[in-house]
Amino acid sequence: MRSPLLDLPGAVAGDAPDSDVAGHYGSFNLEQRALEGGEGFVDLSHRDVVRISGPDRLDLLHNLSTQHRDVLAAGAPTGFLILSPQGHVEHAVFGSDDGEAFVGHLEPGAGAGLVDFLSRMRFMMQVEIEEVTAELATAWRPAKRGGGPFDGYEFVPRDRLAAYAEAAGPAAGTWAFEALRIARGEARFGIDTDHRTIPNEVGWIGSAVHLDKGCYRGQETVARVHTLGRPPRRLVLLHLDGSENRLPARGAEIAHDGRTVGFVGSSARHHELGPIGLALIKRNVPVDAALSVDGIAAAQEVVVDPEVGLHVRPGRPRG
């Protein structure tokens, strides 16, 4: 759904799958600095939004998702995953519950699939599940005193988006937002993951995955890898050679010693770190190994511990 904020002065459309919102408004470096300083907002109104309401909604999500009902009910920003029976991530949802409904945002185009799955699994439970992307737009503002990976997201009535932008400015585009996200080592579902990704590989254990519950689909895989360690792959931050003056193609193979060891997901130009990216590589690749992606030399920085599958790299401050 094309954002009306693309009509703001200086707005330039982003790259797919973010082409329905602004990639930048004139200077993505200045926009990054503003966000790091705690100022401005990012239009993410192209993301799908779902509302899950009814007295049994938390029980449904507790039974089906990786999150605990107590966390979902807290009113604080959180996230949950829906896994396949083999433990692969099929849906990733981020939002909060206000006591009457859980409202969450997903990747563009992902809402219908989640609504269909949850609707088929509710059986006799009193739960209403609907996509409300046409009503609510997602936006993000930096937390004033730091914050976790789920903080800063807001839901704005779509017909009030222009007024919200005027009050919340200055506007920053997805290029700035993505550069800061990548630098924090936060994976994006469907971009930095593939159909084989398990939560342990990308650092979602303990945040989107609650460790003190069981009996949800895919739980056996998550628990086994968490207990025994050594996930098949691990998320890394790539520091890319800037002399090429380009970023690697999404999904490009990563090579080490002449063999393919993974793929690159998102990449961006950070105002301090230069060109960076996130990649999923085989666990047994040495943590100090030099890599090559799409013909670009890259050094790696550990994000997920190769032995225990936990996000061990502290996030960079947001202001």
Q: What is the pLDDT of residues 74-93, one digit of tens each?
A: 889 999 999 999 999 999 99
Assigned domain for 207 exists: no
Residues 291 and 151 in one domain: no
In a domain, 161, yes or no: yes
Domain of residue 58, residue span: 48-131
Nearest CA to 277 among 260, 306, 297, 258?
A: 297
pTM of the shown model: 0.94
Residue 295 domain-assigned? yes
Average pLDDT, the chain: 94
d(CA 169, CA 42): 9
pLDDT in tens, 224-251: 999 998 999 999 999 999 998 899 999 9
Q: What's the N-to-C CA distance of the chain in angstroms?
A: 31
How far is residue 72 from each of residues 1, 93, 209, 304, measured CA to CA in Å?
Answer: 28, 12, 12, 25
* Arithmetic mean of pLDDT, 6-31: 96
Q: Which residue has the higher pLDDT, 135 or 149?
A: 135
Q: pLDDT band at residue 145, thresholds of 50, 70 and 90?
A: low
Q: Which of 98, 131, 164 is the last residue of a domain?
A: 131
**Is the pLDDT reported for residue 318 higher than 60?**
no
The percent of residues above 70 in pLDDT, for the chain, comes to 97
Number of domains in the chain: 3
Residues 36 and 89 in one domain: no
Are 235 and 281 members of one domain? yes
Residue 311 — pLDDT band, cuts 50, 70, 90? confident
Q: Is 1 exposed, middle or buried (0-12, 13-18, 19+ CB in 10 A)?
A: middle
pLDDT of residue 279: 98
Q: Of 105, 104, 101, nearest to 128 (Cα)?
A: 101
Whether residue 22 sits in one domain with residue 52? no
**Model confidence pLDDT, tens digit, residues 6-18:** 999 999 999 999 9
Proportion of the chain in helix, strand, coil states, percent, rounded to 5: 25, 30, 45
Confidence class for position 316, pLDDT limits 50, 70, 90: very low
Same domain, 38 and 61: no
In a domain, 200, yes or no: no
275, part of any domain? yes
CATH classification of the domain holding 54? 3.30.70.1400
Judge whether residue 192 has pLDDT over 70: yes
pLDDT of residue 313: 60
- Domain-embedded: residue 197: no
Residue 110's SS3 state is: coil
pLDDT at 235: 97
296-308 pLDDT, tens per residue? 999 999 999 998 8
Residues 149, 40 within the same domain: yes
Q: Please, what's the b/e burial string for 79-108 (b: 16 or more CB within 10 A of its CB; e: otherwise)?
A: bbbbbeeebbbbbbbbbbbeeebbbbbbbb
Domain end residue (candidates: 62, 96, 131): 131
Specify if 221 maps to a domain: no
What is the per-residue pLDDT for 100? 96
Residue 247 carries which side chain, given as an amino acid letter? L
